[in-house]
Each structure stands twice: as C-alpha cells, then as structure tokens.
A and B are shown apart, each in its own frame.
Chain A
Amino acid sequence: MGWLGAAIPEEYEGGGLGYEALCVLAEELGRAVAPVPFAASIALGAEAILAAGTEAQKREHLPRIARGETIATVALGAGPGEPTQARVQANLRDGRISGEAWPVPDGGVAGLAVVAARDGSGVTLVLVDLNGAGVTRTAIETLDPTDPQARLRFDNAPATPMARGWDAVQGVLDRAAVLIAFAQVGGASACLEMAAVYAKERHAFGRPIGSFQAIKHRLADVYIATELARSNAYYGAWALETGSAELPLAAATARVSASEAGFFAAKENIQVHGGIGFTWEMDCHVFYRRAKHLGLVLGSVRHWKDRVVSELEMRNAA
C-alpha cells in the first residue's frame, strides 16, 4: 500500500507524503504492536540512506525499500553500551569491512545494512549487502520476540562508503528517535485504553475498580505522560520535516519522554489488570516487552537525557 515508503521522496519512488504521514503510520504500528520491521527498515535504514547515502545509493536502494522488496537496517556497534563511537568494532580497509555488530534490529531478514566502521582516525558509515560474500548472521533471542535482532560477523565483506564522521551517525539516530517516539506513543496510548476499559469492567468490593482514586490517579498520570510525550514527538516531527536546527534537542527530548511514557504505560497496564495481566494469554506483556525494547533500540533513556543537557548547554553557551 506504499505505507513503508510514505516519507521517501517521489524521486526515489516513495510516497513523498512527508514525515507527518510517516509519524501517523508509526503511531498506528506502535498501537498495534505490529510485527513489521518498521524501526529497522524505515526509521533507521531508509532514513540513514536518505541522510547519509550518495545519490547513486539512494537511486539504487530507496525504491526497493519503498516497495518492500528490500529490508534495510543499521548496525552501529557491538555489545553492551550506548550508541557512541567507543562501541564501534568493525574496521574498514580498502573497501572491505571486518568485525562484529550486535544487536542489529531485523538483522536476520534485512538484505542491506548501514554499518558504522572505523577507518583509520575516525568513523564512517558504509553500505553492506547482507546477502553478499563475507557476511555471517546469527539470530539472537530477544526480550520482544516480535522485534527480532541478529549478530552480524563481517569478514572482508564488500562495503561502499557513505557519509563520514560521528555527526553523520548522530544525525541518523536523531531522525530515528523522532519516528520511533511515535511508535512508543502509540504503544502507550494502546496500554492506557486497555487499562481504562478493564478498569470500567472489572468489579471489586462492589464497584468498578476504575471508581477508586488509586486507579484513577494512576491512569491520569499515564495519560499526562503520554500526552506530554505526544506533544514532544509532534515537535520533533516538525523539526524533522522543516530541517530545523532544533532537531538534535527536539529528537532527544521526544525520545526521553516517549521512552519513559512507553514503559510507564505498559507497566501500569499490567498493574491495573492484576493477576490476569501477568498471563501469557493477555496482550499486556506484548506491550510491556515492546515498550522496553523500543526504549533500548537507540540507546537507553539515560544516554538521551545526557544528550538533552548537552544540547541545552550548547545553546546557553551560544
């Protein structure tokens, strides 16, 4: 239906509808906990190629991503830690890449990866065909089974250069942070609706549990956190759409709110449901897993809080 390519410009055979449309879509995917590679292929992969790719790379790959023929992903480093330069382990030499990257979102099914690699003094982004020579992939068991990840091993795999420098990587992360914030807000809204419906139906002590202030006030707090996160995400989308210099701060702010609201809504949804919320049959745990997972895929909330303050410091110094 062309949804995945909604924000890919028409010149690359996308929908050319802009980020507002993509954000609506992201929110709905989050609301439905849809098992589709949105974060990997669209929020990260396609956006990375748009932001850091050469004209030839865009012409070759974006139309296929928009049509859903190719799934793309981004591989920024290996092992525990935040998305920083220190975590990058792969090395680039003479157009070939060697080393490891994990966890890589949808790395098992993706055909194409934007990979961060060391090249002498700094870091560069390169494009790697994951079905090509020198690539080994191993599936990783994950907290959220609907959001699979993989471990990638590169042994002299052919790699074509994209933009250089950590700023380019950060630009990719900022764009993804805004888009994924909408998926997080969608998940939080779904949890809030589930909890409110259940609180109206479930009776205890002779009345609906939703008439107790202990439940009401908790759900009011979930509503507040979700709406603040939604507003920050809108602002991020505006910064993304208009190419504003506000993007780094807007993206970090959106991610902090959305990661916190997403997990808060998911955990309180289980709490309002009580014992039944802890069972496999109820969807509560699906949202809970997805919420925490989305809060980690671009680095933890602690990392993004530090980015918020760094951005505020820069602007105050200016």
Chain B
Amino acid sequence: MDFDDTPEEAAFRAEARAFLSANARPKDRRGPTARYGDTDEGDVGAAREWQRKKAEAGFACITWAKEWGGRGGTPMQQIIFNQEEANYDVPPNIFLIGLGMCLPAFITYAKPEQITRYVPPAVRGEEIWCQLFSEPSAGSDVAGLRTRAEKRGDEWIINGQKIWTSGAHYSRNGLLIARTDPNVPKHAGLTAFFIDMKSPGIEIRPIHQMSGASNFNEVFFTDLRVPDANRLGAVGQGWKVAITTLMNERVAGGEPRRPVPADLLELARLVPGEDGRPAIQDQAVRERIAEWHAQAAGVTYTRLRTFTALSRGETPGPENSIGKIVSASLQQQIASFGLDMLGMAGGVMDEALTPMHGLFQNALLSSPGMRIAGGSDEILRNIIAERVLGLPGDVRVDKDKPFNQQAGSR
C-alpha cells in the first residue's frame, strides 16, 4: 500500500490545486461552520454555479465519459480532487445524491438516448436528482414500501407518500421505487421509475428536524402520471435498481464531520479543567482524544485502502460501511464530550458566549440523524456480519409471503 502520489497523480493534484486556487477561497478552519442548516435558494444558486465551473474545467464526475460531461479520468483522480476541494470554502455539494447514487443506477438501466438526454445536464448542475425510496412505514425495511404504481395504457399512475427526501424541493428529477404487484412477495413486487419532479400530482412538504433545520421533505403523489418509457429495468426488478443505488451510497458517504478530534484538542486548550489548569492537561481528556484520533485516523486510512483497491480496478464491497458507522458515532461522542468539558456552560448556544462558534452544540443536535440516514448503524452491522463475515441471515417471517398477506401491510 502506498500513501505517496505517483508522478501522474502529483501532476493531476497540481492541476486541481491551480483550478481551485483560481476559483475558490481556502477554508478557514477557525471560522464558524454553517449551522447544520437549511440549504436556501442562494446556496442552491451558488452550488449550481460551482458545479458548472467544475464541469467546464473537467473536474465534475471525473471518472465519467467525456460525452456525458465527465473527464474520462480515473477513480484516483476523483479522490485527489475531492481531497483538494475539501481545503476550499465551496458551496454545499447538493449533487451528491444525484450524481453519486441515482445516476449510476440510472446509467445502468436507462436506454442510450435517455442517458444522452439526462446525464450531461445533471453533471453541469442544471438538473438535480433526488432519491424517492423511504416511506413512513418503510425505513430500514425499504422493501416494505407501499407507494402504488398501476399500469393504465402506456402510463403508470402513482399514489402514495415518500419521506426523508433530501433536496426534493430543488430537484428536477427523482428516482422512484413503487409497488407494482402486491400479490407477490415484497422484494418481487417493486419497479423503478424516474420522474419529473415538476409534474402535477406531486406535493412537497419540508420536515422540521430536531436540530431546527429542514434538509428533508415529505413527497406526496396523487394520481401522478408517469410514461412507461420512464421505467428503469423490467417490471418487478425495482429491488435490484434500489440495491445498485444504495451500494453507491455506502461509497459516497462516510466523510468525517466536525467536530473531529483536532477540534476537541483545540477546545481542551481553551477551557479550564477541574483544577483550573487547561483541560488538555487532564489525563482523562487526553485518553479520549487519543482514542478518537486513532479511530478517525483508522477511517481515513481505511478509505485510502479502498481507493488503492479502486485504482487497481477492484469493485468496492460492503466493507465500505465501516466509515459511516464509525464517523457518525464519533461525531456524536465528540460533541457530547466537548459539552461535558464546558461543564455548566455546555448548554449555551449563544455564539458570542460559547467557544468555537457553537460547533459542539450544533453537532450534538445534528449527529443523531447521521446514525440513521443512509443505512442505520444496525442495518450496516447486519451487512458487515452477513456479507463480509458470512454469518447466516436472521430468521425471516416476511420473505416468501405475498406482500398483501403480511402483518401490517395494509
């Protein structure tokens, strides 16, 4: 395993840096982090503009073919660009769900002329995609979804509700999984479609999260009409399309979120410990920082191992779940410990009074979501146990029974 760039990689890194320094400002690590807040219209506009610039310079979807708007580059080049871009103050990446998850599945199942129509505008940031999988009664068990699609002539009529849809309000297209046959077992009765989010019959309502922000939506379908040409894969193959999408989610996710151990170290230098000396001199504080540094470093180098495998042409497997499981809990534990270090003032959210712009308080409130979104801790542990370690599946009561005969299915 090699942690150094090859000469070609070093040359690409220099090219990426030149583009970034000419077009963006370096990130100020000491400045305020955005409240885990809403992405407003201004953010969306700035994000589209940044994506357009990247696409023009050949830095968007680096591994994708040039005719799709990509660069025809290597996975290693994408990784290098991501590493470099992380050092700059750039708009939020609102394209990740579309470009990282929906479109790889779309490209796998769509017809060539559909790929030509839909992929380039997505790469340029003109059309954003959202993922319409989860439902109020189908979260971790997403194959239990109930949104119905019924065939009428050359069209499908969609009725039902989706939830936790990031960016539905600014998306142009959506990747939808719906139930086309309730008379067969749950996984066999699903079909995938892509839909125009501006069609009549779609209502979008933001969800007010516990952190105060609204990053997700509920999406309601009332007699939404979708042409059969917008079906992805065969009727009844929706579960395969969903799995293709979700495996890409595991690769796309797992970036560490602040506060990271270095933030805790900084806080421990700022605040007094039990005896009045800086908290960093407290052995208990030092042990926690070290423990979490070792975990965070392990995640970083595990990602690099995955990248090395990718650059050798291997397919990333379920072992990528590690990054998300560890990073999500780390963020929550570090946030909570940071507040403990502030003691009686830990609950103060006022940015003028609390150190580091309330980073730890905000993270305490947003971190529970990270352990649930994109595969909960529990589901990811099942995946590791079953797909990596080869342990047997749980005893299932739902797998072979027709969906409409299952407990709680109606």
Contacts and interface: CB of A to CB of B under 8 A. Distances in A.
Given A210-B391, A211-B392, A211-B395, A313 B322 contact: no
A212 B290 CA distance: 33
A231 B378 CA distance: 23
Interface in B383-397: 384-386, 388-395
B389 to A, nearest CB: 5
Nearest to B268: A309
A220 B290 CA distance: 23
A316 B262 contact: yes
Interface stretch (A87-95, A170-178, A300-308): A300-308
A312 interface: yes
B287 A305 contact: yes
Interface stretch (B120-128, B216-224, B295-303): B295-303
A121 interface: no
Nearest to B283: A306
Interface stretch (B1-9, B16-24, B78-86): B1-9
B197 interface: no
Given A305-B287, A312-B262, A313-B265, A216 B386 contact: yes
B291 A200 contact: no
Contacts of A302: 287
Contacts of A199: 391
A210 B378 CA distance: 15
A308 B265 contact: no
Contact of A316 (B266, B326, B378): B266
A242 B261 CA distance: 26
A257 B391 contact: no
A133 interface: no
B155 interface: no
A182 interface: no
Contacts of A304: 290
Contacts of B265: 309, 312-313, 316
- In this complex, the interface size class of chain B, counting residues with CB under 8 Å from chain A, is 35 or more
Contacts of B301: 231-232, 234-235
Interface in B61-99: none
> Main SS of chain B's interface residues?
helix
Nearest to A193: B389
A215 B382 CA distance: 10
Interface string A260-293: 1000000000000000000000000000000000
A43 interface: no
A224 B3 contact: no
Contact of B291 (A210, A216, A227, A256): A256
Given A199-B391, A210-B392, A306-B286, A313 B280 contact: yes
A237 B2 CA distance: 10
A302 to B, nearest CB: 7
Contact of B384 (A224, A238, A256): A224
A74 to B, nearest CB: 24
Interface in A189-220: 192, 196, 199-200, 207-208, 210-213, 215-217, 219-220
Nearest to A20: B1
Contacts of B35: none
Contacts of B391: 196, 199-200, 208, 210-211, 215-216, 219
A68 B301 CA distance: 34
A253 B301 CA distance: 12
A228 interface: yes
B381 interface: yes
Interface in B267-309: 280, 283, 286-287, 289-291, 293-295, 297-302, 304-305
A10 interface: no
A215 B389 CA distance: 12
Nearest to B301: A231
A223 B293 contact: no
A66 interface: no
Contacts of A316: 262, 265-266
Contacts of A211: 391-395
A130 interface: no
A213 B140 CA distance: 15
Nearest to A215: B391
Given A200-B390, A220-B381, A232-B294, A312 B326 contact: no
A216 B381 contact: yes
B319 A227 contact: yes
A114 B390 CA distance: 46
The interface centre, meaning the residue of A207, A223, A316 with most chain B CB atoms within 10 A of its CB, is A223
Nearest to A232: B298
Contacts of B132: none
A229 interface: yes
The interface centre, meaning the residue of B286, B294, B382, B394 with most chain A CB atoms within 10 A of its CB, is B294
Contacts of A253: 293-294, 297
A10 to B, nearest CB: 22
Nearest to A317: B269
B175 interface: no
A313 B262 CA distance: 9
B392 A208 contact: yes
B325 interface: yes
Contacts of B294: 228, 232, 253, 256-257, 260, 308
B320 to A, nearest CB: 11
Given A228-B326, A234-B305, A316-B265, A223 B384 contact: yes
Given A228-B302, A312-B262, A316-B265, A235 B297 contact: yes
A197 to B, nearest CB: 9
A312 B289 contact: yes
Interface of A: 192, 196, 199-200, 207-208, 210-213, 215-217, 219-221, 223-224, 227-229, 231-232, 234-235, 237-238, 242, 252-253, 256-257, 260, 302, 304-306, 308-309, 312-313, 316
Given A200-B390, A227-B298, A234-B1, 10 more contacts: A196-B391, A208-B392, A211-B392, A215-B391, A220-B384, A223-B322, A229-B298, A231-B301, A232-B298, A316-B262
7 contacts: A220-B384, A223-B322, A235-B3, A305-B286, A309-B290, A312-B261, A316-B266
Interface of B: 1-4, 261-262, 265-266, 280, 283, 286-287, 289-291, 293-295, 297-302, 304-305, 319, 322, 325-326, 378, 380-382, 384-386, 388-395
- Rank and list the top 9 A-B pairs by shortest CB-CB distance, nearest first: A228-B298, A305-B290, A216-B385, A231-B301, A210-B391, A220-B381, A308-B290, A220-B384, A231-B302
